[in-house]
């Protein structure tokens, strides 16, 4: 197995699908000449040419809508948002056009498109560049939402998303593009709606997605000092959601903490807490805890930013709480 | 004027008008819900434009005032009424309603409710056609109210940048809901916006089906042979309110009557009459009336969607 970075896993997934199918097209700001703002498309312009690796002007609504039109007529566009912060400019196209086209046309239109890019905060990019928006898209019927955490998952899931006939929002993370992991040389796909246990444990279930899976793993490691054996569930896809994996884990450990970068109110983590208490009520020894970002637009100073994020400390406290320690 | 063409367009425009009149009646009888934006008065625009294209390879997309475009592309009267009535046999299986008519087989791609948002989508369809060397062109209808919103500019500028086979037709009916043109734009000829992208521009008289056809045909030719985008301002007028809920207090009866004197359908009817085709008029009228009444009856008798299918079509199921 090769050990590669997440950005390379993404690049390889796109390249493999583009080689296989000339209807796959990559478009977005800086994807060509610049190799991607985070270098996720290195070399693709050279290999596939400017008609398939399309540098767009800065107009998120325009190129998202354009991608949708391509998809209506049989292409399989991958639209890169430099980060999902800028997807707000295109959110009307994603939610009102892509997600609804199939229903509104009574099943006549198909919109096979992937909107991808970095979601969530990076380091000290301040309030406008530190948004966590998975819930907007998860909320919308007609969209799938994917947020993997490792190179292996990133590649296998992105390839699946490119082949899928539904519009999909695919979240990456600025802070983990350089993260390395093993990826097989042979081709593979990971199905949507299948989560993954990143660490087995028996005392408490930690649920997360995207880069916070790595936080959950750190928390689990620290908890070993307290003799708490935490299980880490990486949901990988928010929609469709692998509820069975979550429920099996919670029914085994009887305690659950959700770790998310979102703010708590109306967030995806709150939704998880709700369905877990609804469907696993008899198995729970304590109310589900959700560790979230604090209720404030992200301040710049690193002292404040670290405090606003879910920290190892806050996660541990939540675990102690559900363990009545 | 070629007499066969006169007959054809007269019939097609009348078919749209009669459909809309019946739709209005159904609405007042509370048989159809939601918004109902009628196309009455603007029929020459849809019919003239569609007459200039080849729907075997070309595509049409429009906004929420969409019945006329759908019918001009050959959309079925029955499926149109059924859609308004929320029936399973509707052109969007009762899931779209008045603002969201579709018939993908006819290359009519809707039926979109967010002002201006379908302009980039149309550009993307044009990109796909160009990418596949299909020789096809996309016709995108928008209102005068749409030329001020971001997606219009973004879609047009991408079309200009990449040379996309796209023709954007502004149906300039002088009003965006109740707001008159002079309050939304500093010029009457909105095709002037073409200059900044830049794309080719043109204007046409939307009361004259032949004028519309000629101007659109030129634009389609530019798109087909040179991958040039065109923005066309077509002056037209809607006789009814913005939607059925609109009492129309922002304009005078005289203004409406004045515009009606130039009616696109009556003009052709007079022409046919003057040239001794009075019997042809009656023939066409009765043929269309039959189609409308039969389609309507069928649609009224058609079944509603089964409620168990309410969640169908949210996703592509494999
Ligand atoms: C982005 C957006 N804002 C507001 C509306 C509400 N709205 C529906 S139609 C309309 C007027 C549009 O006028 P115009 O483009 O001239 O088209 P017409 O109705 O005359 O055909 C408005 C404001 C909307 N649908 N979309
Ligand atoms: Mg108008």
- pLDDT tens for each residue of B9-48: 999 999 999 999 999 999 999 999 999 999 999 999 999 9
Residue of chain B nearest A103, judged by CA positions? B313
Which ipTM was obtained for this model?
Answer: 0.97
Mutate to test the interface with A, among B59, B227, B315, B318 (most CBs of A within 10 A): B315
**pLDDT (tens digit, 9 = 90+) per residue, A175-205?**
999 999 999 999 999 999 999 999 999 999 9
Chain B residue numbers touching A164 (CB-CB < 8 A): 316
Q: Can you give the residue range of the structural domain that contains B90? A: 3-291
The answer to whether B129 faces chain A, any CB pair under 8 Å, is yes
Chain A with chain B: Cβ pairs closer than 8 A: 148
> Which is nearest to A116 in space by CA: A20, A7, A4, A264?
A7
Q: Which residue out of A30, A129, A222, A317 is catalytically annotated?
A: A129
The answer to whether A92 faces chain B, any CB pair under 8 Å, is yes
Judged by CB atoms closer than 8 Å, whether chains meet at B161 and A104 is answered as no
The answer to whether B216 faces chain A, any CB pair under 8 Å, is no
Mutate to test the interface with B, among A29, A73, A75, A191 (most CBs of B within 10 A): A73
Contact between A107 and A208 (Cβ < 8 Å) = no
Question: Best substitution site from B20, B36, B113, B115 to test ligand 1's pocket, by max atoms within 8 Å of Cβ?
Answer: B115
Per the listing, tokens 């009224």 go with B300
- Provide mean pLDDT across the span B56-60: 98
Distance CA A86, CA A28 (A): 11
What is the homologous superfamily of the domain A2-183 according to CATH? Thiamin diphosphate (ThDP)-binding fold, Pyr/PP domains (3.40.50.970)
Mutate to test the interface with B, among A24, A104, A115 (most CBs of B within 10 A): A104
pLDDT of residue B318: 65
DSSP classification of residue B58: -
Residue B144 Cβ < 6 Å to ligand 1 = yes
Q: For this structure, is A182 an active site residue?
A: no
Q: Is B307 inside any structural domain?
A: no
Ligand index nearest the alpha carbon of residue B146:
1
Atom of ligand 1 nearest to the CA of B143: 15
The answer to whether B123 faces chain A, any CB pair under 8 Å, is yes
- Provide mean pLDDT across the span B71-88: 98
The answer to whether A212 faces chain B, any CB pair under 8 Å, is no
Distance CA B285, CA B25 (A): 19
Residue B176 Cβ < 6 Å to ligand 1 = yes
Residue of B119, B132, B158 lying closest to A63 (CB–CB): B158
Neighbours of A270 (CB within 10 A): 18
Q: Is B139 inside any structural domain?
A: yes
Q: Is B287 inside any structural domain?
A: yes
How many domains does chain B contain in total?
1
Q: How far apart are the first and last CA of chain A?
A: 42
Distance CA A8, CA A4 (A): 6
Q: How far is A196 from chain B (nearest CA, A)?
A: 23
The answer to whether B127 faces chain A, any CB pair under 8 Å, is yes
Residue of A62, A106, A144 lying closest to B154 (CB–CB): A62
Residue of chain A nearest B90, judged by CA positions? A106
Residue B109 Cβ < 6 Å to ligand 1 = no
Residue B177 Cβ < 6 Å to ligand 1 = yes
The answer to whether B206 faces chain A, any CB pair under 8 Å, is no
Residue B112 Cβ < 6 Å to ligand 1 = no
Report in angstroms the alpha-carbon separations of A101 from A80, A150, B152: 21, 32, 19
**Residue A139: pLDDT band with limits 50, 70, 90:** very high
Q: Is B300 inside any structural domain?
A: no
Distance CA A71, CA B121 (A): 9
Intrachain domains A2-183 and A196-322 with the same fold:
yes
Atom of ligand 1 nearest to the CA of A92: 1
The answer to whether B317 faces chain A, any CB pair under 8 Å, is no
The answer to whether B318 faces chain A, any CB pair under 8 Å, is yes
The domain locations on chain A are 2-183, 196-322
Distance CA B82, CA B65 (A): 17
**CATH number (domain holding residue B117):** 3.40.50.970
Q: Give just the sign of the alpha carbon dihedral A142, B152, A69, B62.
A: positive
pLDDT of residue A247: 98
Annotate A135-188 with DSSP letters as a single string: HHHHHSTT-EEE---SHHHHHHHHHHHHH-SS-EEEEE-GGGTT-EEEE-SS--
Judged by CB atoms closer than 8 Å, whether chains meet at A66 and B120 is answered as yes
Mean pLDDT of chain B: 97
Atom of ligand 1 nearest to the CA of B238: 20
pLDDT of residue B317: 85
Q: For this structure, is A289 an active site residue?
A: no
Query: Which letter, b or e, does each residue of A8-47 get, where b requires 16 or more Cβ atoms within 10 Å of its Cβ?
Result: bbbbbbbbbbbeeeebbbbbbbbbbeebbbbbbbeebbee
> Peptide bond preceding B104: is omega within 30 degrees of 0, i.e. cis?
no
Atom 25 (ligand 1) nearest CA: B114
Q: Is B312 inside any structural domain?
A: no
Q: Is B301 inside any structural domain?
A: no
The answer to whether B10 faces chain A, any CB pair under 8 Å, is no
Q: Is B305 inside any structural domain?
A: no
Percent of chain A with pLDDT over 90: 100
pLDDT of residue B1: 83
Ligand index nearest the alpha carbon of residue B66:
1
CATH topology (fold) of A196-322 = Rossmann fold (3.40.50)
Chain B residue numbers touching A112 (CB-CB < 8 A): 316
> Which is nearest to A272 in space by CA: A235, A220, A306, A304?
A235
Chain A residue numbers touching B127 (CB-CB < 8 A): 66, 69-70, 75
Contact between B171 and B142 (Cβ < 8 Å) = yes
Residue B150 Cβ < 6 Å to ligand 1 = no
Q: Which residue out of A60, A174, A261, A289 is catalytically annotated?
A: A60
pLDDT of residue A198: 98
Q: Is B299 inside any structural domain?
A: no
Chain A residue numbers touching B102 (CB-CB < 8 A): 104-106, 108-109
Residue of A61, A97, A106 lying closest to B154 (CB–CB): A61
Query: Which letter, b or e, does each residue of B211-250 get, where b requires 16 or more Cβ atoms within 10 Å of its Cβ?
Result: bbbbbbbbbbebbbeebbbbbbbbbbbbbbbbbbeeeeee
Atom 12 (ligand 1) nearest CA: B176
| Residue A4 confidence (pLDDT) above 90 | yes
The three-state secondary structure class of A256 is strand
The three-state secondary structure class of B61 is strand
> Which is nearest to A135 in space by CA: A95, A190, A167, A83?
A95
Rounded to a whole number of angstroms, the CA Rg of chain A reads: 19
Centre of ligand 2 to C-alpha B35, Å, is: 16
Mean pLDDT of chain A: 98
**pLDDT (tens digit, 9 = 90+) per residue, B214-231?**
999 999 999 999 999 999
Atom 8 (ligand 1) nearest CA: B115
- Provide mean pLDDT across the span B138-163: 98
Centre of ligand 2 to C-alpha B316, Å, is: 35
């Amino acid at each position: 197995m090769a050990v590669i970075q997440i950005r390379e896993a993404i690049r390889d997934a796109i390249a493999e699908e583009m080689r296989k199918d000339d209807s796959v097209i990559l478009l977005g700001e800086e994807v060509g000449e610049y190799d991607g703002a985070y270098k996720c498309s290195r070399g693709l312009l050279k290999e596939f040419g400017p008609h398939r690796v399309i540098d767009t002007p800065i107009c998120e609504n325009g190129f998202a809508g354009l991608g949708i039109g391509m998809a209506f007529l049989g292409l399989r566009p991958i639209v890169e948002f430099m980060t999902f912060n800028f997807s707000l400019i295109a959110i009307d196209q994603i939610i009102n056009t892509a997600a609804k086209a199939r229903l509104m046309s009574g099943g006549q239109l198909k919109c096979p498109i992937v909107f991808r890019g970095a979601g969530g905060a990076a380091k000290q990019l301040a309030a406008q560049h530190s948004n966590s928006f998975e819930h907007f898209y998860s909320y919308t019927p007609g969209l799938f939402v994917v947020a993997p955490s490792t190179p292996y998952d990133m590649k296998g899931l992105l390839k699946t998303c490119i082949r899928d006939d539904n519009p999909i929002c695919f979240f990456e993370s600025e802070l983990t593009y350089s993260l390395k992991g093993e990826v097989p040389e042979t081709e593979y796909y990971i199905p949507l709606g299948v989560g993954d246990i990143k660490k087995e444990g028996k005392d408490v279930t930690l649920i997360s997605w995207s880069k916070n899976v790595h936080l959950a793993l750190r928390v689990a490691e620290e908890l070993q000092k307290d003799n708490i054996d935490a299980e880490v569930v990486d949901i990988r896809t928010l929609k469709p959601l692998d509820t069975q994996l979550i429920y099996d884990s919670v029914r085994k450990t009887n305690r659950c903490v959700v770790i998310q970068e979102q703010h708590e109110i109306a967030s995806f983590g709150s939704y998880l807490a709700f369905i877990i208490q609804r469907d696993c009520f008899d198995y729970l020894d304590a109310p589900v805890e959700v560790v979230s970002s604090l209720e404030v637009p992200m301040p710049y100073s690193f002292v404040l930013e670290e405090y606003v994020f879910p920290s190892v400390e806050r996660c541990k406290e939540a675990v102690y709480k559900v363990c009545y320690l | 004027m070629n007499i066969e063409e006169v007959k054809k367009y007269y019939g097609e425009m009348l078919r749209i008008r009669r459909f809309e009149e019946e739709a209005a009646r159904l609405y007042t009888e509370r048989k159809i819900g939601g918004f109902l934006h009628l196309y009455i008065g603007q029929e020459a625009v849809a019919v003239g434009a569609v007459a200039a294209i080849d729907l075997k390879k070309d595509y049409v997309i429009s906004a929420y005032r969409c019945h006329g475009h759908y019918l001009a592309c050959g959309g079925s009267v029955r499926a149109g009424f059924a859609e308004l009535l929320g029936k399973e046999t509707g052109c969007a299986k009762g899931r779209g309603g008045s603002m969201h008519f579709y018939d993908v087989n006819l290359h009519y791609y809707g039926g979109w409710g967010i002002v201006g948002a379908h302009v980039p989508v149309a550009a993307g369809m044009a990109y796909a056609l160009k990418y596949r060397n299909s020789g096809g062109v996309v016709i995108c209808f928008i209102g005068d109210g749409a030329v001020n919103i971001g997606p219009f500019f973004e879609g047009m500028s991408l079309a200009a940048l990449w040379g996309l086979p796209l023709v954007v037709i502004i149906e300039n009916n002088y009003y965006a809901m109740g707001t008159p043109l002079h309050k939304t734009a500093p010029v009457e000829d909105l095709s002037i916006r073409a200059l900044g992208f830049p794309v080719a521009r043109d204007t046409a008289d939307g009361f004259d089906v032949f004028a519309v056809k000629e101007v659109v045909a030129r634009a389609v030719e530019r798109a087909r042979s040179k991958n040039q985008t065109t923005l066309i301002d077509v002056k037209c007028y809607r006789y009814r309110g913005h939607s059925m809920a609109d009492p129309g207090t922002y304009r005078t009866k005289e203004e409406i009557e004045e515009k009606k004197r130039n009616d696109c359908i009556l003009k052709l009817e007079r022409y046919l009459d003057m040239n001794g085709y009075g019997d042809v008029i009656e023939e066409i009228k009765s043929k269309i009336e039959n189609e409308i009444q039969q389609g309507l009856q069928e649609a009224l008798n058609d079944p509603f969607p089964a409620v168990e299918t309410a969640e169908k079509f949210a996703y592509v199921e494999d």
